[in-house]
Each structure stands twice: as structure tokens, then as C-alpha cells.
Copies of this chain bind each other. A is one copy, B any other.
Amino acid sequence: MRYAVILAGGSGTRLWPASRRAKPKQLLPLTASGEPLVRAAAAVGAQVSGGRVLIVTSESLLAATREAVPGADLVGEPVGRNTAAAIGLAAAILAARDPDASLVVMPADQHVTDRAGLVRVLAAGLTAAEQQGVIATVGITPTRAETGFGYLELAHAPSTSTAAALAPIPVARFVEKPDRVRAEEFVASGRYLWNAGIFCATAKRLLAELDAHLPAIGSAVREIARNPARAAELYPTMPSISIDHGVMEKAEGVVTVPASVGWDDVGSWAAVPAVHGVDTAGNTVIGEALVIDGAGNVVMSDDATLVATVGVSDLVVIKSGDAVLVIRKDQAQDVRKVIEALSSSGRTRYL
């Protein structure tokens, strides 16, 4: 049977101060509907899998995640060990439950405007994974020369025919985040798609790949699936490596299904306008806020505190909990500098 695996263990410090250790970005209501991102991801997964959703998160976030996605099946990691371990654990648990399980794996902190379109893509990917034994990634048609994403280099450009739109294409190579010049070449070529970190594969195939390339993970996750009490002991022994580096780049038979579904990473505050929407003045205003004489701002208040801006543009101004952040939107990644400064000065209560 089909299962959706939602990866919801991230810490999401780039959305500080809304994103905190106790409430990382996948739990935040950043969509226009006010729905937490993880619930939106679980809803898409449920449509593909007939309702069978397994969310992998950290043990410390189990309660908050359960509240965000009532009724979901959850597993908690005692420590974070990157995506290979998290996906391996999900594959081992589901394979133990159902030896013929096929999985769609999705990060919890993304946003898609065309959910129905993504469901069709994932169904095609699962069919390819089940019938051909491939690993079927989702390749997002680029809408800009983004330097913050990895790319999938395809064996050939996608067909422009509608009939062939969901036909999987072999992946020639995984490409790390490019510089500006290469990103522009990639987008111009039509042969490179964004790697969204979403893919379909059978549990059996995934475990075999782990055994081949990351045997310490393959054996540990099987043991934890058999005996969950050993998680605290075994988890720290696994290498911390991404599924892309650890498996995808080495595996044979990796394909992609192209997708133009309004997908975006919610990687920083700069991405929030695409997710939440923009008003007629060009600002994204969330909560009790007042923007005067300015455009391109992201202004948010999480409670009855008023946030007022006057005469500023392209700024991010976030009031959340006991912190206020003001940062240039085009430098929104630099929020890590605040995290570093707070960590090094011991002001961890703000993290």
C-alpha cells in the first residue's frame, strides 16, 4: 500500500523569531489560510496515500506536531541525524508493517499553490516506483535563477506535450546549489529542475539503497523499527547525512517527474510573500500591523502588539513572542547572525 512520509524534524532558525526551538517553522501558520505548513504537507500526502501518513519529527516536537496534525501517525527522533536516518527509520517502520509499502517522502516546510497538481505528480511517481522499481524524484520547473536550491540535471529536457507531462525522465546528476551564473544557465537550458526533496520509492528499495551506501543506518533503523526502546541508544550512532548525498547521488535508476505546481521552499522570511500573499501596496501583512508609505515589506505580529512601519521598504519586521526582528528582505538569510550572537552570549531563552 501507499504511505506518505512527512519529514518534520527541522529547526528552521531562518524564520526566527517566529520559528523557535519549541515551535519550528513547519508548525507556523504561514499560509494565507492560517494552516501550519506541516498540516498542509500531511493533507497532500493523505490524498496520495489514501490517508496513511507517517510524520517523522523530533521527540521534543511530538506533542506540538500532534496538535498541529490531529490524528496523524508520528514517530519521534531522539536526536536529529539529517534526512537519510529519518527516511530510513520511516522506511523500516512501514516495511515492517507492510513489506510492499511504497512511499512518498516530503519535507514539512514547503508550500504548494496547486495541491491537486502535486497530487497527480506524486501518483505518477509512485506508479513508476512500484512498477519500475525506480526512485522517482519530483523536479520543479524553475521560475527564477535561484541559487538557494539544488538542481536535478535531466537526461533530456521534458517534453512539451501535455500527454507526456507526467512521464518520468532519467536524472543524469544531482547538482548542488549553483552560483548566479550557473543558475541562469541551468534555467535557460530547460534541462535542470529544482530539487524539492520530494520523492517516491518502495520501502524495500530504500532500505536496499541504505544497506548498500549507508549500512550503519540500514541496520540501525531496522533494529529501531523492531525495538523502539533502543532508539535513544542507536540514533546517535548513525551518521548525519542527507538522503541526497548519502543515497540519491549514488543510486541507479533515479528518475524525475516534472512539476509546475507553484511550489516554493519557505526557506526564509523573503519567501513568505509567495506563501502568504501580497496586498495591493505590495506588502505582506500578518496580524496586527500597519504599513505606511512603503512597499515590499513583510510585517508580522503574533499577538495584540501593534507593529507599525513608516517610510521603509523591502524590510522584514517580525514581532513574535518575546522578540522583534528587523532585517533587510534581501539579506533575510542573515538571521543566522542573530542566532549565533544569542547563542554565543548565552541568551538562549530567545532561541
A309 at the B interface (CB under 8 A): yes
Which residue of B293, B315, B337, B338 is within 8 Å of A337 (Cβ)? B293
| A341 surroundings in chain B (CB, below 8 A) | 290, 292, 308
Residues of B within 8 Å of A310, CB to CB, are 325-328, 331, 334-335, 337-338
Q: Does A306 contact B (CB under 8 A)?
A: yes
List of B residues within 8 angstroms of A319 by Cβ: 319, 324
Whether the pair B347, A328 counts as a contact (CB closer than 8 A) is no
Q: Which chain B residues border A290 with CB–CB below 8 Å?
A: 338, 341-342
Report yes or no: B324 in contact with A307, Cβ–Cβ below 8 A: yes
Q: Is A143 an interface residue (CB 8 A)?
A: no
B306 touches A328 (CB 8 A): no
Complex contact A324–B305 (CB within 8 A): yes
Q: A346 on the interface (CB 8 Å rule)? A: no
> Nearest B residue to A317 by beta-carbon distance?
B326
Given contacts A306-B350, A338-B308, is CB(A315)–CB(B326) below 8 Å?
Answer: yes
Interface residues on A, range: 20 to 34
CB pair A337–B292 under 8 Å, yes or no, is yes
The yes or no answer to A311 lying at the interface (CB within 8 A) is: yes
**Is A312 in the interface zone, CB < 8 Å from B?**
yes
The residue in chain B whose Cβ has the minimal distance to the Cβ of A324 is B307
Does A233 sit at the interface, judged by CB under 8 A? no
Taking CB atoms, residues of chain B closer than 8 Å to A308 are: 17, 323-326, 338, 341
Complex-state Cα separation, A319 to B324, whole angstroms = 8
A340 → chain B, closest Cβ, in Å?
9
Measured in the bound complex, the distance between the Cα atoms of B319 and A324 in whole Å is 8
Is A304 an interface residue when CB atoms closer than 8 A count as contact? yes
A290 nearest in chain B by CB position: B341
Q: A327 contacts B350, CB within 8 Å?
A: no
Q: How far is B311's CA from A331's CA once the two chains are assembled, in angstroms? A: 7
Give chain A interface residues in 276-326, CB to chain B under 8 Å: 290, 292-293, 301, 304-312, 315, 317, 319, 322-326
Closest to A328 in B: B311
- Residues of A in contact with B (beta carbons under 8 Å apart): 17, 290, 292-293, 301, 304-312, 315, 317, 319, 322-328, 331, 334-335, 337-338, 341-342, 347, 350
Q: 29 pairs across A/B with beta carbons < 8 Å?
A: A17-B306, A290-B338, A292-B338, A304-B322, A305-B322, A306-B322, A306-B323, A306-B324, A306-B342, A307-B323, A308-B324, A308-B325, A308-B326, A309-B326, A310-B325, A310-B326, A310-B331, A310-B334, A310-B337, A310-B338, A311-B327, A311-B334, A312-B315, A312-B326, A312-B327, A315-B326, A317-B324, A319-B324, A324-B324
Nearest 10 pairs of A and B residues by beta carbon: A310-B327, A309-B326, A306-B323, A311-B331, A307-B324, A308-B338, A311-B328, A310-B334, A292-B337, A306-B350
